Structures are given as C-alpha cells and as structure tokens.
Amino acid sequence: MSLELDSMYREVVLDHYKQPRGRCPLDRHDIENEGFNPVCGDEVKIGLRIEDGIILGVHSLGRGCSISVASGSMLAEILQGKTLEEARSIAEDFRRMMHGEITPDEADLGDLEALEGVQKFPVRIKCALLPWTTLLDAIEAYERGARAEKSTTEDPQLGGRPGIVHKNDERRSV
C-alpha cells in the first residue's frame, strides 16, 4: 500500500472514530445485541430497525479503541437501506478481507476498505470484527425468534461467542 493511500485510510478511520455514525438511539429496534472483546476491553451495542426486510435504522454505540469504534461507525453507515441478507454478505466479505482471504477489490466494502491494514496486526483484527460479530449473532437470534446473548470475539472453545438464548431459554451452541 502506498504511503499516500495509507495516510488517506488513516484519515478515514480517524474520522469514523472522532465522529462515529449511528450514535443516535433508535425510537425502536427490532434487533439488538451487545458485544465485548475480553482481550482489549472493547464494547459495542448494535441495534437495527427493520421494516419489510429492509434495515431502516442502525444504532452503533461503541467504547474502546479507534479500530473498534470506527468499524462500528462504518457498519452503521453501510447497512442503512440494506436487507439482512446483504448485511450478512457484507459482514462475511469484511471478515474474509480481515483474514486476507480476499482483497478490497473483490468486494464493495466502502469505508471498510480503510481497515484492510489492520490484518497486519492479528490481535487488532478482533477489534475490527467485534461490531460485525455482534451484528451476525443478533441477526441469527432475530431470525430464530430468540434474543441474543452478549457476543464476544473469543473462540467458543475458550469461552467465547456464548450462543443464543431461545424464548424458552434453552441454550443452543452457535
């Protein structure tokens, strides 16, 4: 990546960190979940208002490092007007980019492309993915008629991503 492009990406990330999008609470939400990265302490709360299968409102409230907050802000910006399937697709493309499986040229990720350089720092990848993991857990719970438990970036084998609580409170591993 050129120095000029790297500098531009840094400015995009700092803009989303200093002036995060999606901060305004929604009058109502159909999907909501909280996420936590126990490694660094990042926290995020994601809420969506859905109408006729379209995301009409996004609330993203994050506390933590610039990467995590910026990623949540970018989530709020890019998901507006998308379907849940499109949201899942964007989240998967972003995850794949963060793990070096695809390049930004292979997906339309908007400002999320500015986070590509984070993949050079494996421990920070979880910071960037926290809002998206939280979103995916929330969508899965919503579609199953359940409420999501707090999401985490840690491996389920190590106590992470606790799963979903169904309306009858039976636990199901994710």
Q: What is the pLDDT of residues 52-77, one digit of tens each?
A: 989 999 999 999 999 999 999 999 99
Mean pLDDT calculated for residue range 47-55: 94
Paired residues of 54 in beta bridges: 51, 83
Q: What residues have CB less than 8 Å from 15, skipping those under 6 apart? A: none
The token pair at 139 is 């969508």
Q: Which helix (H) or strand (E) holds 144?
A: none
Q: Residues 20-46: pLDDT tens digits?
A: 999 999 999 999 999 999 988 999 999
Domain 3-172, CATH: 3.90.1010.10
Decide: helix, strand or coil at residue 25: coil
Task: Find the range with the poorest average confidence among 28-32, 124-128, 151-155.
Answer: 151-155
For the chain, which residues make up each domain, given as ranges? 3-172
3 state DSSP class of 16: helix
Q: Provide the 10 A C-beta neighbour count for residue 117.
A: 16
Question: What are the backbone angles phi and psi of residue 49, rounded to the nearest 5°?
Answer: -110, 125
Tokens of 61: 């409230």
